[in-house]
Amino acid sequence: MKKYKLKNLNIFLFTLLILMYLEIVFRLLTKGAVFNISLLYVFLYSVFTTLLICFFATWGSNRVNKGIYYVTLFVITCIFVLQLCIFKMFGFYFDLSLLSATDQVMSFTGDALKLIFKNLLGILLLFLPFIGLLIFHRKFVIDKQDGKGHIGFLSSCIIIYMIFIGSLYLNGNEINSARELYFQVSNHELNIRKFGVLNAFRIDIKRTVFGFEGKLNITDDDVNQDVDENGDKDVNQDDSDEENNEEKPEYEYNRLDIDFASLIAKESDSTIRMMHEYFQKETGTLQNEYTNYFKDKNLILFMAEGFNEIAVRQDITPTLYRLVNSGFKFNNFYTPSISSTIGGEFQELTGLVAASGFLPFWKSGENAYPFGIATSFQKMGYQTYAYHNHTYTFQNRNKYLASLGFDHYLGCRNGLEKRINCNRWPESDVEMIEGTVTDYLGKDEPFMVYYVTVSGHGDYTFSSNAMASKHRNDVAGLNYSEKPLAYLAAQIELDQALELLIEKLTESGELEDTVIALVGDHYPYYLSLDEVNELASYEKDSVVEINRSNFILWNSEMETITVDKVGSQIDVLPTIYNLFGVEYDSRLIIGKDILSTEPGVAIFANSSWVSDQGTYYASSGEFVSRDGISVDSDYVRKMNNIVSNKILLSRYIMQYDYYRRVLGE
């Protein structure tokens, strides 16, 4: 049979066709836009990559060249498959910073076969060109090229790369433009959408190896609105108050006395100096009518695994329903899914966005957190406790909780296994409450307790999930498919744990003096979007609304207070601090007190956001205003600047151990 020799032009066209096939099929499988200007960037970089492959795979004999060529295409295809599977599982893309989450990665290895089987069609489509090469490999010959051919490949590479760089300026200074993403902004998801999988992977490697410094854009639009000559926000009475001679109370700012001018004068590092300048211009949030609202009360704070608003039902989770719809009732709260559970916990406990690169600094436990929740409450005379009904060292939780001041932390394998059954998956939230309440109830000192639950964890099947199986009969009459049913069944365990906690607080006479706060770590990503929408009261999208959830902040003696302002996990800490009268500096926490006058915003993994005025989708650049609200043409630009700065500052606070620099130990 005649063999077909892949000469210069042929090998180039053949390889380019394969790379473009992979990029387009990937976009179709992940529901990304195909035919827009990003396809130009993808095409140009695919040409560049093709020329490099041709350059390196044509130096030796046919056998050597084919070996290099096949291995290269196999690795490239695996990169696409990895991104597909991670996206289908978590709703975000893999980047090298996630290698720091080794425990998280290993915990999903048992689900790898299920994930592959679930996405088998997509994986086969991506591997189709490589499979074709294997089948017909005997028909192809890749000859050694002469020096002129290699010079042609290399010089063409340089020319195409220069054309690619020039093309980045086609959409100029648009929000999240190609030029900004390539040179100034770290946004892995948008890089994939804008430049393609291969180029985004290369950018990720480069920035991981050589580092990447984004650029803060400090403007008055960002850090101050309605600021007077003294740097304070305008809190003048409105016209109706003036007419009625009603005086508003004078509120102070939640901030400390920090001499930023001195810090700026002494700082030699340009990034740190830029941060000082940013926070110097920031005013922070004003105290308000809810400052000290929970002063001297006990606090029990939960991070609830997989908890989402779709789990709140009066019929099967009545305690959750009661707590969500009384106390402070937050109508526009989100739990953005960033880096899975550890990202959600980081946001809840620090008030910072889980920006790319935070993981190694967070997991080391070596950064200083002067506003750490346990440290802050200990200063006010509280006894502090933390519990987790899974392995206590998972994701180095023992280290980062210690850095926040928790010196009493129990989990499975360091003592909690003596009180609960740690030998099933997932473990019981009810057993965790039952086994720990005697540590802090009935004591003389006030207490602050932090629980990390696990009963709501996936996979959501009745055969593999102990908590779903336990409550299977409780959901038997509901008309949903298996996974949504199993999810609801697993969340019943959390509901009953809260019911038990309230019973124990009542028995000890401490319910009236205790606040229960609860937030989820992320939406239940073991469910598909269609399965989430089976349980939802409206059609959710896969970027923003799938993350809409509840923030429970409840005391048995308070009236129900409805809050319509937008909030998210990063706002939990400053909101609690203001309510309990904790002394802290609201300028240095990126999240803000939801009950303050500060405008609300929730930030998502790809820099999409929701504000009190509407929703911005970063991938498409579309802004959808809330009903009846109109904004000026510059509003989206200003908000994108604010969001970009919040993300970058969160990263720098961790990367440079900024709190230690400003406040010492």
Q: Region 59-83: what's the mean pLDDT?
A: 93
Q: Is the pLDDT of residue 500 over 80?
A: yes
Burial 380-416 (b: 16+ CB within 10 A, else e): eebbbbbbbbbbbebbbbbebbbbbbbeebbbbeeeb
Q: What is the CB neighbour count within 10 angstroms for residue 117?
A: 9
Specify the higher pLDDT residue, 177 or 302. 302
Q: Region 277-281: what's the mean pLDDT?
A: 95
When mean pLDDT is compared across 72-86, 244-258, 309-323, 526-540, the lowest value belongs to: 244-258
Of the ranges 4-18, 78-92, 560-574, the best mean pLDDT one: 560-574
Q: What percent of the chain has pLDDT over 90?
A: 73
Q: Is the pLDDT of residue 103 over 80?
A: no
pLDDT, position 243: 46
| Cβ atoms 403, 369 nearer than 8 A | yes
Q: Region 77-86: what's the mean pLDDT?
A: 93
How many residues can be counted in the chain?
Answer: 665
Quick one: which H or E segment has residue 98? Answer: none
pLDDT, position 245: 53
pLDDT in tens, 432-457: 999 999 999 999 999 999 999 999 99
pLDDT, position 448: 98
CA 648 vs. chain centroid, Å, equals 14
Structure tokens at 209: 């190896």
Q: Region 87-115: what's the mean pLDDT?
A: 70
pLDDT, position 94: 84
Burial 66-89 (b: 16+ CB within 10 A, else e): bebbbebbeebbebbbebbbbbbb
Q: Specify the pTM.
A: 0.90
Amino acid sitting at position 43? F
pLDDT in tens, 581-597: 999 999 999 999 999 99
pLDDT, position 100: 65
Q: Is the pLDDT of residue 233 over 60?
A: no
Q: Region 217-234: what's the mean pLDDT?
A: 48
pLDDT, position 310: 98
Mean of per-residue pLDDT scores for the chain: 90
Q: Strand, coil or helix: what is 620?
A: coil
pLDDT, position 239: 41
Q: Is the pLDDT of residue 1 over 60?
A: no
pLDDT, position 627: 84
pLDDT, position 137: 78
Determine the Cα–Cα distance for residues 294 and 312; give it in Å rounded to an integer: 25
